[in-house]
Structure 1
Amino acid sequence: MDIYLKRATLHMMDRNNESPILSDTLLDLTQHFVAEYVENKVKKIATSQTKTGKLNQESVLGKIFSLANKENFIATGQEFMENWAKIYTQSEDAPSSDVLMALYEKDSQLYFAFIKLAYKDGLTHFVENAENGINNKLVMNRAILPASSSKPDEAFAVNLSTLEYELIEKRFEFSGEKQFYFAQYLLAESEQPQASVDQSVSAVKKLAKSIGRKYEDDEYEVMANVKEALFDSFEEYGVIEQDFLAEKVFGENLSAKLEFKDGLRESLPTENREMDEIREISDKKFGKQKLKMDNGIELIVPLEVYRDANAVEFINNPDGTISIVIKNIEKIVNKI
């Protein structure tokens, strides 16, 4: 995924003051380490846990982002930060943090991103001049920012043209109850986020496993079919295409296929919103079949190999057991 950073700012949410410390200036993106950090954090917004939706143009957030552009980026970020802080500070356990705001271009579309940078504890050195000479000490810093390679625990990115959004949210305690506050309060006037890829996949697997048991299909084969069907669906359509999935998983069993379709309609959203990065996520997540046998043997097989009968063969034995034959191996490397 290629993105082109335009602007970035860093704000602070200090729970001791119960009010945000808003920056009036831009981060210097000419500094390589700053630009690299911001870019890496933006790229981590799209994951298999990311939810999607669309802002109502007449909602508070819809009005804020409908007017957002390069010239008013700082003001837009400050306004959004103030709206977010009003909700966030009502939580009993939401911690202090920094907040990164970024304006960037992706596929010729302009996006605005909010990324919460949760603090972590870390040791650092401290040099002081003492009477007996220089004293090098270790001190605890309780406001270390997360690594650029880590996924944010909270993030929100909006396409400024379509107002479609991507959301990573986290539960915090409000009036003694853990809540996904971002969707419940900040997005209350807009389309609620659709299930993430992981949530949808979990629902698909649970449904397929239940129907497979009902029709006495081998569970490993049903799950393998599901994984392969999901990979193909994401590759071809960019979303979970329900009819395609049902055909691939239970194509030869009409009753199971119809039951699976009905279950998918009930458990999955009628409209899947595609993320631009979904095919990349799919390749990493579903591009390999991971098999674990009851004798302790585990196999990780690339999907293109798994599909090749000249490379892997599954044999159903008369006694009910299964044999796996791995064929045409030219070289084995023992990795310790």
Structure 2
Amino acid sequence: MDIYLKKAILHVVDREAGTPVISQIELDLTTEYIREYLTKKIQKLATPQTKTGILMENSSFAEMAKETMTNFSEGSEKLLQRWFDSYQQSEDAPSADVFIVLYEQDTIQHLAFLKVNYTQAFTHYVDAQEEGIANKLIINRAILGNKTQKADEGIAVNLNDLSYELIEKKYTFSGEKMFYFSTNVIETQPVPSLEENVKVMKRVAEKIGEKFEAPKHDVAADIKEAVYTSIEESGQLAIKEVAQHVFKDNITAQMAFQEEVLEKGVADQTPMLREVKEITEKKYGKQKLKLSNGIELIVPLDVYRNRDLIEFVNNPDGTISVTIKNVEDVINKL
């Protein structure tokens, strides 16, 4: 994905100060490390936890986002204030920096709102005293995550069709943990993330699998493989295809699976992130197994299905034996 940064600004949100420190001057995008930092943060908005949706045309957030194209500073300040009006009501939401970025992606105008929480880090402080130079160890409580880390929360909006990608966190409001960004800031119900959908499907498949005495580890592996295959082939998560893959010729189990996952809000055949194939390959292209004896295995899908390479044997006493076969070499990595 080609990203061309046009304008960017940084606002400081210190919860102890009570009000945001609003910048009147934009960030200097001729500085390479600033461009690289912001570009990486935008790219990192595409994750398995990312939710998607479309803003309402006449919503306040959409109108403010569009305003940044003609009056960036004023529009970004309005966006920051709208978000902060909700954020400040939380009992545990931390201090952070907020980056608002106007950019082009494949020639289409986009706007990103990126919130990066502070972390603590130790550093030195050189103090010139009457007795001489004193090098001191201090704690800096306003360190930002590095460029390879995704923003703690953020939204990227396509300003052409108002579609968006959202990462949000739950914070405590009046004693209750809740997602505030989608409900209060953009006031739009997003489609569940890929990770949320897969977790629901896994739980439902395991429950239905128990009724038909299917091994739990096989059901979990089938779900991962079905998700991987469905997205690789169509770019979408198709519930019917997943059901057929997991429960093979068992029509009753397939129908029960489809009905229950739809009831639980799993999105069927909805458009997904453009990076979804790469994400799926990384997250669901391998089986991660943790055995009760403490052994952990990471097995590529093609190896997992090859009984000449790995085999699971159900023993008469109820235990399971895992046999790894035809290994030419073992490399011990520290």
2:286 maps to which residue? Answer: 288
2:261 is aligned with 1:264: yes
Whether the aligned pair in 2 keeps the contact of 1:224 and 1:289 (CA below 8 Å) is: yes
2:9 maps to which residue? Answer: 9
Whether the aligned pair in 1 keeps the contact of 2:114 and 2:155 (CA below 8 Å) is: yes
2:235 maps to which residue? Answer: 238
- Choose from 249, 270, 284 the match for 2:246: 249
Whether the aligned pair in 1 keeps the contact of 2:53 and 2:190 (CA below 8 Å) is: yes
Whether the aligned pair in 2 keeps the contact of 1:121 and 1:140 (CA below 8 Å) is: yes
1:31 maps to which residue? Answer: 31
2:167 maps to which residue? Answer: 168
Give 1:316 shift. 5.5
SS in 1 for 2:79: helix
**What code does the residue aligned with 1:87 have?**
S
**CA shift in 2, pair 1:299/1:139, >3 Å:** closer
Whether the aligned pair in 2 keeps the contact of 1:56 and 1:62 (CA below 8 Å) is: yes
Whether the aligned pair in 2 keeps the contact of 1:66 and 1:163 (CA below 8 Å) is: no
* Cα deviation code 1:100-122 (max 9, x no counterpart): 11122333332211111211222
- Give me the whole-angstrom Cα distance separating, in 2, the residues matched to 1:120 and 1:130: 29
1:329 maps to which residue? Answer: 327
- Give me the whole-angstrom Cα distance separating, in 2, the residues matched to 1:133 and 1:323: 69
Which has the higher mean CA deviation after the structures are superposed, 211-220 or 135-144? 135-144
- Give me the whole-angstrom Cα distance separating, in 2, the residues matched to 1:257 and 1:92: 44
- Equivalent residues in 2 for 1:80-119 (5 A)? 80-119=79-118
* Cα deviation code 1:170-227 (max 9, x no counterpart): 2233333332221221132x3x022122211110000000010001111121111111
- Equivalent residues in 2 for 1:296-307 (5 A)? 296-307=294-305
- Give me the whole-angstrom Cα distance separating, in 2, the residues matched to 1:46 and 1:264: 24
Which has the higher mean CA deviation after the structures are superposed, 319-328 or 96-105? 319-328
SS in 2 for 1:166: strand
- Give me the whole-angstrom Cα distance separating, in 1, the residues matched to 2:261 and 2:278: 24
The TM-score with structure 1 as length reference comes to: 0.90
- Give me the whole-angstrom Cα distance separating, in 2, the residues matched to 1:310 and 1:172: 49
**What code does the residue aligned with 2:25 have?**
T
- Give me the whole-angstrom Cα distance separating, in 2, the residues matched to 1:300 and 1:174: 39
1:216 maps to which residue? Answer: 213
**Unaligned ranges ≥5, structure 1:** none
Which has the higher mean CA deviation after the structures are superposed, 210-219 or 132-141? 132-141
* Cα deviation code 1:20-59 (max 9, x no counterpart): 2222222122222212211222222121122222100011
How many residues were matched structurally?
333
**CA shift in 2, pair 1:97/1:317, >3 Å:** closer
**CA shift in 2, pair 1:15/1:325, >3 Å:** closer
2:225 is aligned with 1:228: yes
Give 1:15 shift. 3.0
**CA shift in 2, pair 1:225/1:67, >3 Å:** same
Q: CA RMSD in A?
A: 2.3
**CA shift in 2, pair 1:176/1:327, >3 Å:** closer
- Give me the whole-angstrom Cα distance separating, in 2, the residues matched to 1:217 and 1:261: 17
**CA shift in 2, pair 1:80/1:329, >3 Å:** same
- Give me the whole-angstrom Cα distance separating, in 2, the residues matched to 1:316 and 1:95: 49
- Equivalent residues in 2 for 1:130-149 (5 A)? 130-149=129-148
2:239 is aligned with 1:206: no
* Cα deviation code 1:229-271 (max 9, x no counterpart): 0111222222321111111111221111111121222121346
**CA shift in 2, pair 1:24/1:262, >3 Å:** same
Whether the aligned pair in 1 keeps the contact of 2:286 and 2:300 (CA below 8 Å) is: yes
Whether the aligned pair in 2 keeps the contact of 1:65 and 1:163 (CA below 8 Å) is: no
Whether the aligned pair in 2 keeps the contact of 1:111 and 1:158 (CA below 8 Å) is: yes
**CA shift in 2, pair 1:128/1:316, >3 Å:** closer
SS in 2 for 1:331: coil
2:44 maps to which residue? Answer: 44
- Give me the whole-angstrom Cα distance separating, in 2, the residues matched to 1:216 and 1:86: 52
2:19 maps to which residue? Answer: 19
- Give me the whole-angstrom Cα distance separating, in 1, the residues matched to 2:292 and 2:13: 50
* Cα deviation code 1:1-36 (max 9, x no counterpart): 543322221111233443322222221222222122
Give 1:283 shift. 1.2
2:177 maps to which residue? Answer: 178
* Cα deviation code 1:72-114 (max 9, x no counterpart): 3333211211211222223333333211111223333322111
